[in-house]
Amino acid sequence: MGFFEFDVFKILLKQEISKRKTNPRPGVVGQVKIEGILLDKMPLRTKEELTIEVCQIIKSYLNEPDVVSAKGPNSFYFLMTENGLAETQYLDELLTFNLQQLIGSNFRYTSIKVKVQMESFDKNKTKLTKHLNNFTKKQPI
């Protein structure tokens, strides 16, 4: 399936960063943020369905070993273990367009903004890994 709970995602990311200390190779961590959704007015079931649908869309553009995680219905993370940043730049426009279409057509929101941020990772902490660390202090990356 390739969808993981957020805490499991953090563990996987930590392991991938650790592997790269001895075996440097490409890898990308990414974040998809969806802004403009009125979550407080959305039923819980709808939030869950939206979260699953967005995860499925993101995963459909990734390779088999890559993983996706959600931190609620408007914040998603993905880990690409076999591609470098140059090979994944197409995802920015693709995900932005398709997710705006999905949400705009199903929820009639006109001011939806989808932001995709990606960066390669190695043994050094990146902005996204530092950002991920802020969510839970139990298992720092």
Q: What is the pLDDT of residues 52-91, one digit of tens each?
A: 999 999 999 998 889 999 988 889 999 998 888 888 888 9
Show Cβ contacts of residue 131 under 8 Å, excluding neighbours closer than 6 positions. 31
Mean pLDDT of 32-39: 86
Could you tell me which of 118, 122, 120 has the C-alpha nearest to residue 17?
122
Q: What is the pLDDT of residues 102-141, one digit of tens each?
A: 888 777 766 788 999 998 875 455 666 665 655 434 444 4
pLDDT for position 30: 92
Return the biggest CA–CA distance within the chain: 49
pLDDT for position 127: 64
107 phi/psi in degrees, rounded to 5: -120, -5
pTM over 0.85? The answer is no
